[in-house]
């Protein structure tokens, strides 16, 4: 009964909810079901019931929490500023401890050990690359079918770990690049673009080799011990840089919450930025160029962890227009695309419904290029949009445009 861990939802977080219900229409799972039990207010009520001792961390509690995408769309609209994402990570941590299934232990191991291991991810992506070439994603197996959402993978490729480059032109500071777990192996060109743009913008850039996966996926799954270990590793690895830059929205959002997971985490959080913020700033300052317009539209997809968790919206549009494209809006409600990290695999039905919805919005926009600043969203979009569409990180679009110009 009650909570058992230090990460559990805290009473002041739960008391913050005045049950006004203003978050409901912004929650994708409430929109799909119309059910309070699938809404932010309902989930907080369930946590409050456990805290009050009138409910237990049982299977139904797990279901209610498990359907949450952790998209945090409920946060910026909450007039009472309830830190929902934090409370939900706490609830997941409780579930992991109180309902320890073998599956969850396996996941904790995957997210805490395998994903952060560069060798393991390389091996896995090599296997995936073979699978792509053998067209195994056409088989009716969910995990394999998702390979269809990946870019065409190289059979091998360099990791950027340990690399460093010096600033071109006037130096403004030092930047460390969080290369990420899958980002490094599967989206190398995004990290490459980041390094190019950061140096061009006046940063000495390194990708310190002591770093690891940021731990966002582990935290979302309630694997608290792994999350703490990964956060501590990164706090040490990123100690001496002016800014710490992440190229995936999910990672930058997680870094912003490091205060919860490691001592010194708060200090790192203060220096952490999403790449889109740094690049947009450099464009605004004139450290990076604005290229002449060409009449090609790009559909803007906002990763939840940029739009909702970090209030970063204008920056991605700035970058895409500076690259010469015309940004077009696809979704004023900001509903999640359904990727949500491991959610694609854990909640296939909801994930597919949201993915299809998002894909239809893109199709309606008539753009065939989509800008998305998060690898999970990119895979989901590619999977649901098919081959006729190209989904790219906004800084990749911008870096390519710059290359073509110099």
Partner 1 sequence: MTLAADLRLVLGADRVLDHPLDLQIYAKDAGVTPGTVAAVVFPETTQEVAAVVRIAVVHEVPIVARGAGTGLSGGAVPTRPGLVVALTRLNQIWEVDEAAHTAWVGPGVINLELSQHTTPLGLHYAPDPSSQSACTIGGNVGTNAGGPHCLAEGSTVSHILAVELVTAGGDVLLLGGAAPDPIGLDLVGVVVGSEGTMGLVTKVLVKLTENAPEVRTLLLAFPTIEAAAETVSSVVAGGIVPAALELMDRPMIEAVENFKSCGFPLDAAAVLIAEVAGHPAAVEAEAQLVADAGAAAGATEIRIAATAAERDLIWLGRKSAFGAVAYAAPDYYLHDTVVPRTRLVEAMSGIYEIGERYGISMLNVFHAGDGNLHPLVAFDAKEPGMLEKVRAAADEMVKLSIEVGGALSGEHGIGLEKRDLMGEMFSAVDLDAQARLRDAFDPIGILNPDKVLPEGSRCFDFGLVANLDPESAA
Ligand X SMILES: Cc1cc2nc3c(=O)[nH]c(=O)nc-3n(C[C@H](O)[C@H](O)[C@H](O)COP(=O)(O)OP(=O)(O)OC[C@H]3O[C@@H](n4cnc5c(N)ncnc54)[C@H](O)[C@@H]3O)c2cc1C
CA 374/CA 302 separation, integer angstroms: 9
- 4, 6, 20, 158: which one binds ligand X (CB under 6 A): 20
Contact letters (x/-) for partner 1, 44-73, by CB under 8 A?
Answer: -xx--x----xx--x-xx--x---------
3 three-class SS: coil
28 binds, among ligand X, partner 1, ligand SF4, none (CB under 5 to 8 A by kind): ligand SF4
Q: Is 35 in the site for ligand X (CB under 6 A)?
A: no
Give kind and range of the element (H or E) at residue 219: helix 216-220
Size of the site for ligand SF4 (CB under 6 A): 26
Of 72 and 273, the one with the shorter C-beta distance to ligand SF4 is: 72
Of 88 and 121, the one with the shorter C-beta distance to ligand SF4 is: 88
Q: Which residues pair with 203 in a beta bridge?
A: 173
Of 20 and 364, the one with the shorter C-beta distance to ligand X is: 20
Of 71 and 237, the one with the shorter C-beta distance to ligand SF4 is: 71
Residue 368: is it exposed, middle or buried by C-beta count within 10 angstroms (0-12/13-18/19+)? middle
Q: How far is the CB of 227 from ligand SF4 (least distance, A)?
A: 18
- 3, 7, 17, 128: which one binds partner 1 (CB under 8 A): 17
Sequence-distant contacts of 236-240: CB under 8 A, at least 24 apart: 236/210, 237/176, 237/208, 237/210, 237/211, 237/212, 238/176, 238/178, 238/208, 238/211, 238/268, 238/271, 240/174
372 three-class SS: strand
Phi, psi dihedral angles at 55 (to 5 degrees): -145, 165
Retrieve residue 87's tokens. 């409370």
- Phi/psi zone of residue 176: left (φ > 0), alpha (ψ -120 to 50 degrees), beta? beta
Of 18 and 364, the one with the shorter C-beta distance to ligand SF4 is: 18
CA 84/CA 106 separation, integer angstroms: 26
**What is the chain's percent helix, strand, coil content, to nearest 5?**
55, 10, 40
User: Are β-strands 203-206 and 164-165 bridged in parallel, bridged antiparallel, or unpaired?
Assistant: antiparallel
Asked if residues 257 and 246 have their Cβ atoms less than 8 Å apart, the reply is no
Query: ∠ at Cα 326 (322, 328), nearest 5°?
Result: 125
Contact stretch for ligand X (CB under 6 A) within 19-27, 214-222, 255-263, 299-307: 19-27
54 binds, among ligand SF4, partner 1, ligand X, none (CB under 5 to 8 A by kind): partner 1
Determine the distance from the C-alpha atom of residue 307 to the mean position of all C-alpha atoms in its chain, rounded to a whole number.
11
Q: How far is the CB of 76 from ligand SF4 (least distance, A)?
A: 10
CA 120/CA 113 separation, integer angstroms: 9
Report 21-80 residues binding ligand SF4 (CB under 6 A): 21-23, 26-29, 40-41, 43-44, 68-74, 78, 80
34 binds, among ligand SF4, ligand X, partner 1, none (CB under 5 to 8 A by kind): partner 1
Retrieve residue 268's tokens. 């790192």
Of 332 and 387, the one with the shorter C-beta distance to partner 1 is: 332
User: How would DSSP label each residue in 230-270?
Assistant: HHHHHHHHTTT-SEEEESSHHHHHHHTTGGGTSTTHHHHHH
61 binds, among ligand X, partner 1, ligand SF4, none (CB under 5 to 8 A by kind): partner 1
Of 33 and 164, the one with the shorter C-beta distance to partner 1 is: 33
CA 314/CA 319 separation, integer angstroms: 9
Contact letters (x/-) for partner 1, 19-48, by CB under 8 A?
Answer: xxxxxxx-------xxxxx---xx--xx--
Q: How far is the CB of 22 from ligand X (least distance, A)?
A: 6
Of 85 and 265, the one with the shorter C-beta distance to ligand SF4 is: 85
Could you give the angle at which helices 40-52 and 59-66 cross, rounded to 10 degrees?
A: 150
Report 76-105 residues binding ligand SF4 (CB under 6 A): 78, 80, 82, 84
Contact stretch for partner 1 (CB under 8 A) within 74-82, 336-344, 362-370, 375-383: 74-82
25 binds, among ligand X, partner 1, ligand SF4, none (CB under 5 to 8 A by kind): partner 1
Q: Is 16 in the site for partner 1 (CB under 8 A)?
A: yes
Footprint of partner 1 (CB under 8 A): 15-25, 33-37, 41-42, 45-46, 49, 54-55, 58, 60-61, 64, 77-82
Footprint of ligand X (CB under 6 A): 20-22
Footprint of ligand SF4 (CB under 6 A): 17-23, 26-29, 40-41, 43-44, 68-74, 78, 80, 82, 84
């Amino acid at each position: 009964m009650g909570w058992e861990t230090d990460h559990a939802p805290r009473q002041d977080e739960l008391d913050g909810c005045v049950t006004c219900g203003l978050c409901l229409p912004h929650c994708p799972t409430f929109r799909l079901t119309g059910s309070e039990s699938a809404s932010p207010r309902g989930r907080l009520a369930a946590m409050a019931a456990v805290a009050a001792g009138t409910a237990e961390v049982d299977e139904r509690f797990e279901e209610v929490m498990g359907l949450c995408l952790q998209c945090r769309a409920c946060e910026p609209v909450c007039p009472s500023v309830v830190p929902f994402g934090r409370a939900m990570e706490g609830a997941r941590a409780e579930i992991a401890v109180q309902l320890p299934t073998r599956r969850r232990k396996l996941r904790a191991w995957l997210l805490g050990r395998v994903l952060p291991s560069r060798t393991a991810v390389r091996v896995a992506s090599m296997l995936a690359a073979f699978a792509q070439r053998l067209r195994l994603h056409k088989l009716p197996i969910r995990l394999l079918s998702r390979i269809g959402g990946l870019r065409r993978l190289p059979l091998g490729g360099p990791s950027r770990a340990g690399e460093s480059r010096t600033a071109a032109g006037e130096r403004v500071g030092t930047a460390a690049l969080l290369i990420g777990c899958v980002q490094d192996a599967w989206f190398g060109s995004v990290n490459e673009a980041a390094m190019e743009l950061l140096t061009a913008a006046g940063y000495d850039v390194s990708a310190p080799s002591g770093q690891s996966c940021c731990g966002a996926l582990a935290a979302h799954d309630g694997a608290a011990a792994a999350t703490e270990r990964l956060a501590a590793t990164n706090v040490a690895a990123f100690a001496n840089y002016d800014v710490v830059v992440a190229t995936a929205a999910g990672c930058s959002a997680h870094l912003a919450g490091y205060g919860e997971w490691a001592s010194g985490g708060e200090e790192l959080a203060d220096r952490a930025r999403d790449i889109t913020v740094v690049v947009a700033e450099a464009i605004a300052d004139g450290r990076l160029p604005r290229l002449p317009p060409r009449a090609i539209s790009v559909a803007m997809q906002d990763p939840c962890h940029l739009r909702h968790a970090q209030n970063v919206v204008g920056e991605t549009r700035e970058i895409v227009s500076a690259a010469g494209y015309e940004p077009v809006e696809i979704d004023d409600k900001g509903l999640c695309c359904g990727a949500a990290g491991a959610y694609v695999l854990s909640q296939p039905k909801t994930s597919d419904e949201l993915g299809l919805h998002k894909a239809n919005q893109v199709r309606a926009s008539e753009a065939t290029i989509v800008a998305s600043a998060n690898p999970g969203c990119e895979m989901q979009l590619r999977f649901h949009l098919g081959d006729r569409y190209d989904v790219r990180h906004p800084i990749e679009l911008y870096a390519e445009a710059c290359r073509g110009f110099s």
